[in-house]
A and B are shown apart, each in its own frame.
Chain A
Amino acid sequence: MNEAASDIIHFDNVGLRYGTQPEVLRDLSFTLHPGSFYFLTGASGAGKTSLLKLLYLAQKPSRGAIRMFGNDVITLPREQLPQMRRRLGVVFQDFRLVNHLSAFDNVALPLRIAGVTEAELQTPVTDMLDWVGLSHRIDAVPATMSGGEQQRVAIARAVIGRPDLLVADEPTGNVDPEMAIKLLRLFEALNRLGTTVVVATHDVHLLKKVPNSLIMRLDKGRLSDPTGALRYPPRPSGPATKAGGDS
């Protein structure tokens, strides 16, 4: 199963329900390949955030199987999950910054958790904050930042460790169009370095900005394009989930 082992994520007939409620995700089967760029779209309540939770290991499915980086996340011992999470970068829709930490400390947090020394992380964190236009806000705490600034800190935190998989939930929702393009370029740059990127958005204009991206569309908990073969603009046929096939 070398091919499976090289996949970033493989979902097989996955379903998710909260408690005794009806399933919010149903029969999801798809594969995310290394170095691909995916947009996850769908109406509000379609299950985008629930799917992202499965992707960033905040939730286990009610049924089905999920393989991540070659491991079965359902049966993987709990103590090995942190190792998996450290290969992920997550941009939460509500940012989820640590409120009493400065912008610098928030961005440095995943590096510190991963054991990077203070000497090693000073320059990358400072440069990353400079790159997202927040060098003047390095000591600011989230409460004193605008929504856009907080979002940029959240994105900087997600990408600073050069993750194998970047999952972003509406990452450009609070920034101006210029910054949105800049952040997308950041995701593309990461993608070119080998990171698989999944961006959940309902902004159809955003899809045009990344020409080699693949689309996953959720509708009432089902993937309308479970193979991930459709591109934007959609093609009548194409190689299933060939990441950057024409890039």
Chain B
Amino acid sequence: MKLPPLIGRSLNRGLAPLGGENAASLIPRARLTGPVPWVLAIMIALTVLATAGGLALSNLANSARSDLSGALTVQIVEADQELLAQQSEAAQRILTDNPAVQSLRAVPQAELDALLEPWLGTGNAVDSVPMPALIDVQLRDAADAQQIDQLQAALAEQIPNVRVDAQSDWLRPVYSALSALQYLAAVLVILLAATSAAAVWLAVRSSFAAHRETIEIVHLLGGKDDQIARIFQRSVAIDALIGGIIGLLAGLLGVMLIGSRFAGLDSGMVAGGGLGVLDWVAIAAIPFAAILIAMLTARLNVMAALRRMI
């Protein structure tokens, strides 16, 4: 009988890698019918929204802090309008001579009237209410309590009813709320990342269970743990890439929509809450981080399961 057409020599090629299409074919591609791309797409879309929100809030808070960090308001209360004008001029001289002051602006009477118009009506304010004089002061550096006390003392020597306030003090509760929202966004991102990893973990376990027979065969035919893990990693990475692209696009669409709504507010404070180049880079990196998490969880899962085989 004719000898079987065996391969020409015994195979002892060491632990050569099983890769490429042949390795990929061992795990049939489910494409978009499997759960992994869609779970990841949803998670990544939510993560993009949470990250964009967190970064925008951070920028908003930083911008507001920066704008107001060196800003002071000097308020002079005096019923006698003539004396008030003299004290205001004296205060401006003292402030101009102070090296810590970068610039100052006496708030015009018209602006003060405009501030009270909603409550007192047009034209009645100056005559019926004794208005204080207000001076906006911009320091060279951020205002600290010691500087404010020094200015207060310098002004009080000549102007008894003067009061110096840091403008940032008025917004302290707003900053506090913004900080809380920032932390909330950070916690959301962490939770979403953990949930994504858990979802991928479960999906990979399910896929592993579905292909356990194939894996055992490859294992018994001499496949290395690393080879088999890489097959799964590749499969999961493709799923994660597809899910990542879908999730990123959906998340960006959401960011754009929300951004356009905030832009419609036309508020000076909200204007500081835009996203910079680095912020966009960080958001674009989210799918890649998800792919890495997915590959890592796939690898750990498969390696742990393979270690239970001898």
User: Which residues of A line the B interface, CB within 8 A?
Assistant: 56-60, 78-79, 81-88, 90, 96-101, 105, 109-116, 118, 120-121, 123-124, 127-128, 130-131, 159-164, 182, 185-186, 189-190, 193
Contact = CB atoms under 8 A, between A and B. Distances in A.
Contacts of B22: 105, 112, 118
Nearest to A94: B213
Contacts of A112: 18, 22
B224 A164 contact: no
Most chain A CB neighbours (cut-off 10 Å) among B2, B220, B309: B220
Given A98-B26, A114-B11, A162-B10, A189 B310 contact: no
B99 interface: no
A109 B17 contact: no
Contacts of B222: 82-86, 88, 110, 113-114
A131 B5 contact: yes
B277 interface: no
B14 interface: yes
A82 B5 contact: no
Contacts of B5: 123-124, 127-128, 130-131
Nearest to A128: B5
B25 A114 contact: no
Contacts of B216: 96
Given A83-B15, A101-B25, A124 B223 contact: no
Contact of B220 (A56, A118, A162): A56
Nearest to B309: A58
B221 to A, nearest CB: 5
Contact of A116 (B11, B17, B214, B217): B11
B13 interface: yes
Contacts of A90: 220-221
Contacts of A59: 310
A98 B217 contact: yes
Most chain B CB neighbours (cut-off 10 Å) among A85, A113, A193: A113
B1 interface: yes
Given A60-B310, A124-B7, A130-B5, A115 B14 contact: yes
Nearest to A123: B5
Categorize the interface residue count of chain B: 35 or more
B11 A162 contact: yes
B9 interface: yes
A131 B17 CA distance: 29
Given A96-B213, A128-B4, A162-B9, A113 B14 contact: no
Most chain A CB neighbours (cut-off 10 Å) among B4, B5, B216: B4
B28 interface: yes
Nearest to B6: A162
B contact patch SS: loop
Given A159-B4, A159-B6, A162-B7, A81 B310 contact: yes
Given A58-B310, A96-B216, A161-B11, 18 more contacts: A82-B222, A86-B12, A96-B217, A96-B220, A97-B217, A99-B214, A105-B25, A114-B11, A115-B18, A116-B7, A121-B7, A124-B6, A130-B5, A131-B2, A160-B7, A162-B11, A182-B1, A185-B1
Nearest to A117: B16
Given A96-B213, A109-B221, A189 B4 contact: yes
Contacts of B17: 115
A101 B3 CA distance: 27
B221 A164 contact: no
30 contacts: A56-B220, A58-B309, A78-B307, A78-B310, A82-B223, A85-B219, A85-B221, A87-B12, A90-B220, A96-B216, A96-B220, A98-B214, A98-B217, A101-B25, A109-B218, A109-B221, A110-B222, A111-B11, A113-B18, A113-B218, A115-B13, A118-B22, A128-B4, A128-B5, A131-B5, A160-B7, A162-B10, A163-B10, A182-B1, A190-B4
A200 to B, nearest CB: 16
A130 B214 CA distance: 25
B10 A79 contact: no
Across the A-B interface, give the 9 residue pairs with the lowest CB-CB distance, nearest first: A115-B16, A127-B5, A86-B222, A85-B222, A124-B7, A115-B13, A161-B11, A114-B11, A82-B222
Nearest to A158: B221
A87 B3 CA distance: 20
B221 A186 contact: no
A140 to B, nearest CB: 16
Contacts of B26: 98, 101
Interface in B10-60: 10-18, 22, 25-26, 28
